[in-house]
Structure 1
């Protein structure tokens, strides 16, 4: 297993082009989830290192905005080219980070796509000119950078968040201090090195792996002009509290409990395949986009369940570096224990019928943090199992009788990040999608995030957007400039 290649590697913050090997914080022993063994020692950033990173970013941002827009555009394209040359390496580091199967580790390609897309915004019109009532004055509306922005990434998607945040931040003229989780810092740190190799000013993209202390220092720092946080709701509340004294604006992309609606006219084979991978299999259910609530029309419920369980049963479990493997471990021993406890509670409370799974895997995989893909049938929608994010390979099946009931069940959670609809009916697809309280609705497909489309949540799944023109606007401040042109006749 390639995990051994990283044993005894020491990694630390990348600030101003320099690797930090000692810090004001203690180091973290990174554990590879597929084996339960350490594969790196991570030097964590504390308050001192965060202050250095913000200072470095402040100076680099001045150099960045001193470049003409065409040169900034070309630098971003250069970075995309360098990322392209290292796609396999970044994918492998994703596997080392959190043991996501290499077959699903393609977020490096997403990073390249976002960089190329937003490079095109760097030299495009960002402002406008408008007339003014009762005057012939020149009235300009300009959009400029914030300065230094802080980006806090989750352990299950550092490169994906780097793609959706760093690319538009640079296009808008900002510097970035990116804080990956101490649980998965390796791919993000390599991306920081690639920024230097591409010729970006040192300090324009600083990478500071940190735990709670460093994250709190980043959010509270007066030199950080905006925070982009991706993670859970409980941590988001702490981020908002820490940002409040400086009135630092925060964008939050949070968790989900996504509904996946299977109508009676759906292609059941395709729906079963997509639902299995979007549910318990992809990233072992450790995704904010996990379709963990599967709503099935009663007339096809039994047929769908049979096909769905067959796909799960056929999943290849094992070494995440094996390209044929489609199901890997969860992030930690603690996560595995929490997920199994959630299953046990659901069984004890009779939240639904346990159809398959629910236990730690034994045998050759016992030392890793593998939890069986778990499916409950006929789940009570009011139960905690149906209402709260498990963040593991656990999904709930529920039946519905008509479109109105499906929409009601889908919307009956505090979350609203994603929703999925399977139907052959064009009118039904549009009608249902418009009624669902979710930031993204995917019809007959996976959650396929693209740089052209805005992504973010409704309700307790967060606020603000990444991707598309909306994502660019999140990294820009608006300024009105009015020039007197004399008195109007």
Structure 2
């Protein structure tokens, strides 16, 4: 039985912001959309009542953003940098508060946000603050002949940032600073499950000096999302979420021919060769896929193990999971909290039951709901998994790991590339030549070797195939929010 301190959670819920919609400089508790009762995933109890944003709020916010754009686009880059650096300082100041909000809204252990995620968010803010004055144009090859021709980097206008519920603050950091640094206005639509961290983040942005109307937040469901994507004055959509929703977003963008950036799901493979440093690799292979209850698009949810060390790694993973604390997200020693909702829990348990029924693999550990009031699932591992099974081919977005053996390097690469996804790949080996060789052969947007940190602000991040297109991070990330205008001056 998982012990959740109900009194502590009830007391903590008093910190939830009453108003989660921010339009211009106005804070609103209710929109014109559907009524929504936010349930704490650790307790299963409703902790906040609201009405989501609807089409009316979207139209109002876009009109305000479009008016604010004229002033923000000509704001000095150095001033934009000052504001983003100040926002970074405020996120650091309010780390414990954001950690508390994260735990209450999606069950992420508070220590996880305080320990690493806040540092990641601050890193992205600092990086794009530094990029604000580094957008450059070019003088083209036409000069010094008849014309002086050059290019001007320009912001797009109003950007719709549609972010997911699993890591909303990191998603904000991957989208908002780059768009603002380039001179765009941004309307954030967080998922209905996670309105609180986004509302607080935007409040901090206003405190940092972002002008009213330049950054707004509209928590909502499909109605708000569709209105935002279809709005004629939205210049680009930056979407992180599921593939099915992305197809609907892409179809809606077609009406106004607006561009989109998609950071979608994954079924990333972690390849462990027989020369890997197992003392480091095994804990990584077991614990990392269970991060945030397995609710992460880039998590290595397929574990491919070289046959000579297969049994050793499997037993090591079992031992690692036995020591991971599943529990109250407000407790300091919790590694893994609940999944985000009852619906998510039932979907994941349904996928686990399907894997058993189809004999997709042998259940090594877990496979059931943990005894608790909230939406807790035991860390689950299947071994000897059929590479063609639903379990191996589909993103379950929960604490479920699929393990399978491979014979040699070619076999490992074929298995890793054997899904329609292509977000991330992971390689564990001491052989430097093999590491580079395999990285070049993996069909994915990013490869991480021997536990390298992922989602670094200076590196472009994004997938291929069903995992989406476009990049967040690095110079490529800010170029997503810029267009280059050509100017020609006759010299004759």
1:121 aligns with 2:134: no
| Structure 2 unaligned regions, length at least 5 | none
For 1:348 and 1:354, locate their aligned partners in 2 and report how far apart those are by CA, in whole Å: 11
Deviation at 1:337, TM superposition (A): 1.2
Corresponding residue number in structure 1 for 2:27: 19
Aligned partner (choices 282, 286, 293) of residue 291 of structure 2? 282
Deviation at 1:52, TM superposition (A): 1.1
For 1:86 and 1:287, locate their aligned partners in 2 and report how far apart those are by CA, in whole Å: 24
Give the conservation status (yes or no) of the 8 Å contact 2:30–2:53: no
For 2:303 and 2:52, locate their aligned partners in 1 and report how far apart those are by CA, in whole Å: 40
Aligned partner (choices 204, 215, 221) of residue 214 of structure 2? 204
Is the deviation greater in 314-323 or in 224-233? 314-323
Is the deviation greater in 128-137 or in 473-482? 128-137
Pairwise mapping of residues 41-440 of structure 1 onto structure 2 (< 5 A)?
A: 41-105=49-113, 106-132=116-142, 135-279=145-289, 281-362=290-371, 366-440=372-446
| Structure 1 unaligned regions, length at least 5 | none
Give the conservation status (yes or no) of the 8 Å contact 2:143–2:149: no
Offset from partner CA, 1:391-434 (integer Å, 9 cap, x none)? 11111110011000000000000000011000011100000000
CA 1:9–1:192: 2 relative to 1, 3 Å = closer
SS of residue in 2 equivalent to 1:135? coil
Give the conservation status (yes or no) of the 8 Å contact 2:19–2:30: no
SS of residue in 2 equivalent to 1:248? coil
SS of residue in 2 equivalent to 1:252? strand
Deviation at 1:293, TM superposition (A): 0.6
Give the conservation status (yes or no) of the 8 Å contact 2:149–2:488: yes
For 2:128 and 2:65, locate their aligned partners in 1 and report how far apart those are by CA, in whole Å: 20
For 1:123 and 1:10, locate their aligned partners in 2 and report how far apart those are by CA, in whole Å: 37
Offset from partner CA, 1:72-93 (integer Å, 9 cap, x none)? 2212222222222112211221
Offset from partner CA, 1:431-458 (integer Å, 9 cap, x none)? 0000000111000115521110000001
Give the conservation status (yes or no) of the 8 Å contact 1:11–1:41: no
Give the conservation status (yes or no) of the 8 Å contact 2:135–2:153: no
Residues paired across the two proteins, number: 482
Aligned partner (choices 3, 13, 16) of residue 6 of structure 1? 13
For 1:292 and 1:393, locate their aligned partners in 2 and report how far apart those are by CA, in whole Å: 8
Offset from partner CA, 1:333-371 (integer Å, 9 cap, x none)? 111111111111111111111111110111xxx211001
For 2:459 and 2:313, locate their aligned partners in 1 and report how far apart those are by CA, in whole Å: 31
Is the deviation greater in 446-455 or in 308-317? 446-455
SS of residue in 2 equivalent to 1:225? strand
Pairwise mapping of residues 435-454 of structure 1 onto structure 2 (< 5 A)?
A: 435-445=441-451, 447-454=453-460
SS of residue in 1 equivalent to 2:172? helix
Give the conservation status (yes or no) of the 8 Å contact 2:85–2:129: yes
For 1:276 and 1:225, locate their aligned partners in 2 and report how far apart those are by CA, in whole Å: 42
Offset from partner CA, 1:159-202 (integer Å, 9 cap, x none)? 11110110100110000000000011110100011111111101
Offset from partner CA, 1:240-275 (integer Å, 9 cap, x none)? 111111111111000000000000001112111111
Q: TM-score, normalised by structure 2?
A: 0.96
Deviation at 1:302, TM superposition (A): 0.4
For 1:351 and 1:421, locate their aligned partners in 2 and report how far apart those are by CA, in whole Å: 24
For 1:234 and 1:51, locate their aligned partners in 2 and report how far apart those are by CA, in whole Å: 25
Corresponding residue number in structure 1 for 2:461: 455
CA 1:303–1:22: 2 relative to 1, 3 Å = closer
The CA RMSD over aligned residues, in Å, is 1.4
CA 1:107–1:327: 2 relative to 1, 3 Å = same
Offset from partner CA, 1:122-175 (integer Å, 9 cap, x none)? 112421112217824211112110011000000012111110110100110000
Give the conservation status (yes or no) of the 8 Å contact 2:68–2:214: yes
Offset from partner CA, 1:219-246 (integer Å, 9 cap, x none)? 0111100000000100000101111111
For 1:29 and 1:68, locate their aligned partners in 2 and report how far apart those are by CA, in whole Å: 42
